[in-house]
Structure 1
Amino acid sequence: MDASQYKDYVLFMLFIKYVSDKYGDSDDLEPPIVIPKGASFNDMAALTGNPNIGDLINTQVIQPLVDANEMLARTDFPDFNDPNKLGEGNDRVDRLGRLIAIFSSPDLNFAKNRADHDDILGDAYEYLMRHFATESGKSKGQFYTPSEVSRIIAKVIGISPKNTVAGTTAYDPTCGSGSLLLKVAAEAGKRITLEGQEKDVTTAGLARMNMILHDFSGGASAS
Structure 2
Amino acid sequence: MEAANLISYLSELVDLVLPSLWETLYMVFFSTLFAIILGLPLGIILVITDKGHIWEKPKLNRTLGLIINMARSLPFIILIIAIFPLSRLIIGTTIGPTAAIVPLSIAAAPFVARIIESSLKEVSWGIIEASISVGATIPQIIFKVMLPEAMPSLVLGITLTVINILGYSAMAGAIGGGGLGDLAIRYGYQRFQTDVLIAAIIILIVLVQIIQSIGNMISRKLDKR
TM-score, structure 2 length as denominator?
A: 0.31
Comparing both structures, which one devotes a greater share of its residues to strand? Answer: 1
Comparing both structures, which one devotes a greater share of its residues to helix? Answer: 2
Q: Radius of gyration: which is bigger?
A: 2
TM-score, structure 1 length as denominator?
A: 0.31
